[in-house]
Structure 1
Amino acid sequence: MGSRIMTMKRQAAELGRIRTGYSRPHRDPNKRPVPVKSTTFVFSSHSRDYVAAAAELWGGEVEEWTPQNQRIAQFRVISKAKEIRAILPAGDPLSQSYEMWSGGGCARRCDGEFEQKSRQSCLCLAQFGPDWHLRSPREVCRPTSRINVMLPELPDLGVWRLESKSYYAADAMAGGVDTVLQATEGKSMMPVRMWIEQRTRVADGETKNFPVVMVVPSLPKLRHALTGPLSTAAALDPSSLDRAAIEAPRPDYAAEARQCATVEAAREVWHRANRAGHVARDGSDPLSQELRQIADDIAKGVDTSTGVVTGGEESGPDEEGVYDAEFVEEPPTSVDWPAVAQPGSGARA
């Protein structure tokens, strides 16, 4: 394997951008274009092929387009898709900061406490106080969220970047991504659903409408999202998780219990079957009854693999015809089985 420069970021190729807005020409040709909030996703790229593939999948017309303050033309499509399926790559795909841009590029980049370029405490907070984020974007930094996702239905290997400058959307997006990272520990990919949700906020008698990009795991059941890293195959085809569970044979819990030497070990077999959903919580199902009987037999000294009472052959008299003294206790008639397995108890495991 080749070597790497350790101080460089090993980023996947960026194939295009996913946007939640676009601009239309102003009626007055001397004025700047008018920004428009989109209810559907907008895809843009330097490659016409990528945009054409997105248009074929999600609708819309491919058009040549030049972003504001740029000279190089790109291609874009205002799709008809309000929701798309994507894959979050391994690692942390979300980058957030408060930023202020000017004609010379990024003038400020802050994490809310420390401004990186000036190496000072948050400049907006110092100048305008705790409610600084309510001021005009021309005066203060704007929250900027960038998230990289893979679109498995489009050509080539790489990521598409979605960028949002919404204050309220930043919190919702971070919450969704952090849920994924908590489940996978950043060690695997995660299939997600993304959609544009229109929200309303009323403050100081003023109503504001704003879009929020929701990012949530796209799996058959919640437990699939919380069981740890996923395989690449599962990330590409989440439905395989349910199929695997259906096709997997059920362990032979009764056979396992018969190999146990103690009642406690047999009880643990029942608990494992319960956690896997193969026995009822109240212990009223046939498998629970069978496991209870096996535990009873173990307590009575029965070899559950043969059905023979253990303890060895009865010893005979010695040379003088005397038998060894023996204290005999009557074996228990029933095992003190955990309450969760008692029929009709209804207790939880």
Structure 2
Amino acid sequence: MLVVHSLDGQIEPLVDCELPQRRWVLNGDKSLSFNIYRSFSNEESFDLIQGQCLIEVDDDYFRVKQVGKQLRSSTQYKTVSCLHVLFDLEKNRVYSTLNNTVSIEQAMTLITANTKFTFTVEGTFDGVVFEEFGKDDSYTLLQKVLEEYGAELEVKKFHITLKKRIGVDNDFQFRYKHNITAVDEQIDTNDLTTYIEGTGKLDANGKPLISVSYESPNASVFGRLHADPISNETFTIAENLRNHIASKLQDTPKISIKFDYHTVVGEIGQEIGKGDAGWLIHEALGIEIYTRVVEILDYPGVDTPPVITIGNVLFNGAEEIVIRKGK
């Protein structure tokens, strides 16, 4: 059930909502939308729905951002669009900065200062060197943290949890057009690359002390496709630099496939959730790709099956994306 928290603190359940839709994207969109018409059952709560009020769903908060009002057959009707309260961070400005080597805890402390948000960091993250971290809105800085530290986030109400990776590696196997049928499929090779070079720290004459190259095993499938070279003076060890440049390759096609959740669970015989990982076996392409659940669209309080999206579109790295020739 949806619950409205008004700007003046009133709390009322919302009934007579039409197909509420909640969207979750890995490290991205977290939104809610619904339509509601005035009825005898929601006469009080209907009027409480205003811009910036909170909608509670499954012990989580979404903030109303857009409200459309209409009259249908003499009945008042509202279309409501919400964003997770995480996006409140867009309206908090960080004026100070951090520089040199910054820990993820230091970065998050700066981001959440003077806000309602708290955070937990699970696991160990290496420090990152910044010339200047700050002087931006907190949400943009949070996205920078996710990118620079290689972190993923979970959020509940006003608490952020950062992890190396969310979800579990349950080794599911999706056999395209065998045990699954796609609702929608997108395959994109525009950014496909299989070869990259990189340089590390420079000597006194401006020449690199280390130079490395990396060719993905997938070059045997797609050929040698060059990525732009990378220069990063923080690296002094060749192996570490090679791992870094390898992680920047998009060495598989970007694949995004949507499925009806209940159908998939019935076919593969196991539950799957946010961030879970497994194999997509695409015989038409002759490849197997290690994928994750990267998006879920569900319908809170309504008996409509969720739609899940698996793919490799939202994450990169040779250590995580693997492709094999079909047999």
Q: TM-score, normalised by structure 1?
A: 0.20
* More strand by percentage: 2
Greater relative contact order, per chain length (Cα 8 Å cut-off, separation 6+):
2
Q: TM-score, normalised by structure 2?
A: 0.21
